[in-house]
Amino acid sequence: MMQKKMLLQLMLGLLLMQMSMAQTPYTRSADPKDTSVTVLKGMITKYILMNESAFKWFSGSHDSYTAPETVVRTLADHSDKMSFILFGGTWCDDTQFILPKFFRLQELSGIPDSAVTFFGVDREKKTLGGLSEALHITNVPTIIVFSNGKEIGRVVEYGTTGKWETELAAIVKQSAN
């Protein structure tokens, strides 16, 4: 377990170092399956998705989402103790549905932007720096919850119940006990 934590810290450090030397921390390309779709690969932010016309799907899903009050309250109660690493594909229907809602939930619960790191992946679920492989990302979106630098749980796609927000709140609440 300690080796996995050290590997994760090393990978994040190398990735951040690599990105600080680059002009931008991500690459942009056309999706090989649909050239009208833009694929972002690397460290990105919700603001890129909010502000670029290539990602029109973001604002509709984000703005129309009404989060369950119990989920908002649970995340708000623990917002200072958690951090999140997200993996998603700008080409992926599940990512386009869930991640704008996650970001709305983040805002409603007061989780600071600095507590959320978002990596875009290509269709092979790979990102810059090999981090997706190190964290065993097989499906997107994947939301990984950390407390004190330690992974405490993750929600993959819609979760096991189809209620990804409820599962996310349960992970956060469980870690607080």
* pLDDT of 176 over the 50 cut: yes
* Residue whose C-alpha is closest to residue 54's, from 74, 35, 80: 35
CATH of the domain at 135: 3.40.30.10
Give the chain's mean pLDDT. 89
Whether the predicted pLDDT of 4 surpasses 90: no
What's the pLDDT at 21? Answer: 41
Instruction: Please name the residues in contact with 102: beta carbons below 8 A apart, sequence gap of 6 or more.
Output: 86, 141, 143, 168
One DSSP character per residue, the chain reads -HHHHHHHHHHHHHHHHHHHHSSSSEEEEEETTEEEEEEEEEEE-HHHHHH-GGGTHHHHHHHH----HHHHHHHHHTTTTEEEEEEE-TT-HHHHHHHHHHHHHHHHHT--GGGEEEEE--TTS--GGGHHHHTT--SSSEEEEEETTEEEEEEETTTTTS-HHHHHHHHHHHHH-
**Which domain covers residue 35, as residue numbers?**
2-176
| Token pair of 2 as six digits | 């300690």
Provide the pLDDT for residue 19.
46
The total of structural domains in the chain comes to 1
pTM for the predicted model, two decimal places: 0.86
Q: How confident is the model over 107-154, as pLDDT tens digits? A: 999 999 999 999 999 999 999 888 999 999 999 999 999 998 899 999
Whether pLDDT at 5 is above 60: no
Q: How far, in Å, are 5, 75, 143, 169 from residue 175 at the CA level?
A: 17, 12, 15, 10
Answer yes or no: is pLDDT of 61 > 60. yes
